[in-house]
Amino acid sequence: MQINKHYQDIEETYLFSEVAERVRKFLASGAGTSVIKMGIGDVTRPICHAAVEALKSAAEEMGTEEGFHGYGPEQGYEFLRDEIAFYYERTSGVKLFADEIFVSDGAKSDLGNILDIFGNDNVVAVTDPVYPVYVDTNVMAGRKIIKLQANFENGFLPMPSEDLEADIIYLCSPNNPTGAAYTKAQLQEWVDFANSRGSVILFDAAYESFISDEDVPRSIYQIEGARSCAIEFCSFSKTAGFTGLRCGYTIVPAGLVRDGVQLRKMWLRRQTTKFNGVSYPIQRAAQACLREQGHAEILENIAYYKENAKVMAETFEELGWPYTGGKNSPYLWVKCPYDMKSWEFFDVLLQKANVVSTPGSGFGECGEGYVRFTAFNTHENTIEAMKRIREIDSK
């Protein structure tokens, strides 16, 4: 028997597990008591009332003969897919058909699982720094990866170049980890590039609900030509606080065809074979978040996190620490002061301010010398964390 040898090419532990382990050891040492977590992008606001009511009534239904639901459709219940299509039309003017939408337990799983429909010889392009899932899942399959450097010079938004030869291109906008977001014109360049080479863009839109700027698209399908080259991944995790409930969705347009095959059909085949769908109560809760009352409530939570991001941005400006993000995104990507390396600054922040960040080097070589903070904590903790950071800087 043979194990998958490609696992030897990835880090032994996943980035956020490593961060959690270091924090656990720090707390066990008794050195700090009131640690404020601004590392992993996990939300703190409770799910909205509309979602709670939907969960309760779906649970009640499940306890009745008429309302019981067994296996659901692998692609997701039509009521949720219709609601997602309606949400797209309302928020970004994009028209989708329900059979192009696939409900899942979150964007992370789909971003990894989608690779089942692509050959292993495809060359993959990712930006660096990058959400580790795009890299690790491809390394596990032995694919060649090209890294496109993101830095202050290009606004952390790499663009296609004539000599780029990539079959699969991952784009995340607003970006995790840098918080930078592509404009319409920039995304148009990527779409034109992909269409001209027959490449496929895997577009991670998990942070679309944080966008404030008019010229930043919320969906890649706002861009002309995207329906023939892009798959979009989105999630209720950050939009509606579902990190613990688990629900997301992937859009594979009918017009996306490679080698004469509709990728939508391949993905459906993959999902019906390997996935049994998301539970009925969770899908009802997700639907509630996109309807009038639920949507108004989740927008309040997003405004809450954006207020945190503003407080953080003001602090970094005051300290004179170069940063990006925080405007269309819950992430702030900060240059480490005094030329410190990422893990070095991570340790200073943890030990001296009891604040947890994520070391930028964990997102790729170009992330060295940066750390990432999330705006997902409470107002009180965010203000306190910024106060402590100012204090350590003045010492």
Point out which residues bind ligand MLT (CB under 6 A): 40-41, 108, 131, 176
Q: How far is the CB of 1 from ligand MLT (least distance, A)?
A: 31
Which CB, 280 or 331, lies closer to ligand MLT?
331
Nearer to ligand MLT, 229 or 366 (CB): 366
Distance, CA of 287 to CA of 76 (rounded, Å)? 11
CB of 40 to ligand MLT, least distance (A): 4
Least distance from ligand MLT to the Cβ atom of residue 358, Å: 7
Give 40 or 266: the residue with its C-beta nearer to ligand MLT: 40
Nearer to ligand MLT, 17 or 154 (CB): 17
Minimal distance, residue 237 CB to ligand MLT, in Å: 6
Q: Which is nearer to ligand MLT, 167 or 208 (CB)?
A: 208
**Residue nearer to ligand MLT on the CB measure, 176 or 199:** 176
Q: Which residue is nearest to ligand MLT (CB)?
A: 41
Task: Extract the tokens encoding 150.
Answer: 């993101």
Structure token digits, residue 294: 């639920």
Identify the bridge partners of residue 331 per DSSP, sorted by sequence position: 374
CB of 2 to ligand MLT, least distance (A): 30
Nearer to ligand MLT, 111 or 285 (CB): 111
Q: How far is the CB of 168 from ligand MLT (least distance, A)?
A: 19
Nearer to ligand MLT, 102 or 131 (CB): 131
Minimum gap (Å) between residue 254 Cβ and ligand MLT:
28
* Residue 99 C-beta: closest distance to ligand MLT, Å: 27
